[in-house]
Amino acid sequence: MKSFLKVVLGTMVGIMLLMFLFFMIGIGSITKMSQSNKVTVKSNSVLKTSLGMLIGERGQENPFEELDLPVNTGPVGKVGLDNIKRAFAQAKDDGSIKGIYLDISGISAGWAQTEEIRNALIDFKESGKFIIAYGEGITQKAYYLASVADNIYLNPSGILELKGFGAELSFYKNALEKLEIEPVIFYAGKFKSATEPFRLTSMSEPNRQQVKQFLGDFYDNYLEKVALQRGKSEENLHDIIDNLKIRNAADAKTHGMVDDVIYEDEVYNLIRQNIGLDDEEKINFVSLQKYIKTLSNSSGLLKDKIAVVYADGDIVDGKGTRDNIGSERFKNILQKVRRDDKVKALVMRVNSPGGSALASDIIWNEIEQFKEKGIPVVTSMSNYAASGGYFISCNSDKIFAERTTLTGSIGVFGMLFDLDEFYNNKLGITFDNVKTTQYSDFPSSMLLSGDLTETESQIIQNQIDQIYLQFKQRVADGRGLTMEQVEEIAQGRVWTGKQAMEQGLVDELGNLEDAIAHAAQLAGIEDYRESSYPRQKDPIQQFMEKLAGQEDELVSTYISNSQFSKIYQQYKSIEDLIANGNKAQMKMPFSIEIK
């Protein structure tokens, strides 16, 4: 029997080793294949652009993209906003590219990122080359992008979504009451609505007011820019949207929002006419993803550098992951950059709704030391630079934002959860403790054996108030404002980029390239190279780390990119609040979804 078990065990181990060996050989083959599979752009080509894929601030190569594997929707393989803009800029002067075909059924970018892509397409049009857009169903955000095209076409059975803007928030107060879980909430700023889902069943009036105002600015921007590109008045466009006059494909054509209602093969015939092909000739399409591979990654031999640090995600304590802003990791990155004598300026690219107050202050301090050393600091804001995201931006020499950036939210909150009755009444679990001092179990993110005393509550509220005061002082010092002026625009209130500029929180509307150019101007340099941080790992290394359990992201990222993404993101936000409830948080209003 023992011999049999040894044979079985040995066979299993051997099979596992062979599988691992074949896997490693396969990985090596894929790596070699990806390195040797260079993209050649044929003459008379058309850049086929679909933006429904996952779009991040920076591109991440996916060596498995040609294979039908679940990893294709995982954390590697993200198309970067940086590469999309570079691709359009290169295509503008590329003699082999005759135009762009926009497959515009959807777009996964945020509103500020969409604005940057749209501006890059407008710049491409200066070449005189065509842009043709087509969709089987066109969302409101996708149409904003498509509006710059020379012609927009819609499938005869498709729909164009033009309905105006709305924001949807989820509230959990009633659910918590049913579970007998009581949130204990502390906050500073009447607009600081991140905790409202736990203490209310609908929006407070201050929150409703701020949401209405920033949505109004989004809508005004939409009307202005779409009307301009489609040759309509803003009043006419508003009438079409306000009365929901686009209810089917025919309506879209009748009201001049699309040029025709046709099928994709008919669109291809129009493209053939544009590039001088016969009806049966094949169009040389090159996908955006493949065209990006033709971009030069050479940083050149220029000595002077401008460091571009991408701060993308929630701000968290400790090392964090590559999908958030860990204070320890970014402190080390910024220190390394600051010690590099070749770095003449720092550009912070911030795309963050905020997070830990402590982590935000640690990063703020590292940025402050650049200024003390005489190195100019410029911030470029993406979709969000709110609360903690604004905290790490406010001491920059100059701040750029897109009009549809959400920023501000200068406020602080903390939250505990009283789970005593939940455990006792729902699960039959009780707790008791022994303490050497009256505060030995204080604070905790969960209250399990008794309520907070009045003194303990006051201690926490005082801490929140003190951090809020520090936040306002940081903004006042960084922006050259008085504390009274900051108080007027703080209170946790969220602003669009345009509104923030009017209030003195932002200096200028512009993109990352504008920020880099201004940083060079402040540094007094003309010839320089850009150096981006955090450094990106080899994609094969990233994948192997995930398989080895060094990063617990593969499953969570797969879910977050699936049809369960909305529920999953809400779950993660709640989990984060519970885990960090006893820590002061600088975070923008909870789970705002702009439609």
Which helix H or strand E contains 453, and what residues bound it? none
* Active-site entry in 360, 387, 396, 560: 387
Beta strand 151-154 with 130-135 is parallel
Tokens 């083959």 sit at which residue?
A: 29
C-alpha–C-alpha distance, residues 242 and 250, integer Å = 18
DSSP state of 451: P
Dump the DSSP string for 332-358. HHHHHHHH-TTEEEEEEEEEE-EEEHH
CA 55/CA 84 separation, integer angstroms? 9
Write out the DSSP string of 48-105: EEEE-S-EESS----TTTTS--GGGGSSS-PEEHHHHHHHHHHHHH-TTEEEEEEEEE
* Cα(387)–Cα(269) distance, integer angstroms: 50
CA dist., res. 204 & res. 248, Å (int): 36
Is 387 known to be catalytic? Answer: yes
Catalytic-labelled residue, pool 48, 141, 192, 232: 192
Helix or strand run (H / E) with residue 134: strand 130-135
Identify the bridge partners of residue 80 per DSSP, sorted by sequence position.
56
Are the C-beta atoms of 192 and 413 separated by less than 8 Å?
A: yes
List 184's β-bridge partners, or say none: 416
DSSP string covering 2-64: HHHHHHHHHHHHHHHHHHHHHHHHHHHHHHHHHHH----PPTTEEEEEEE-S-EESS----TT
Assess whether 36 carries a catalytic annotation.
no
**Helices and strands per DSSP (H, E), number in the chain:** 22, 25
Q: Which residues contact 525 (CB under 8 A, 6 or more apart)?
A: 304, 306, 344, 345
Residues known to be catalytic: 192, 387
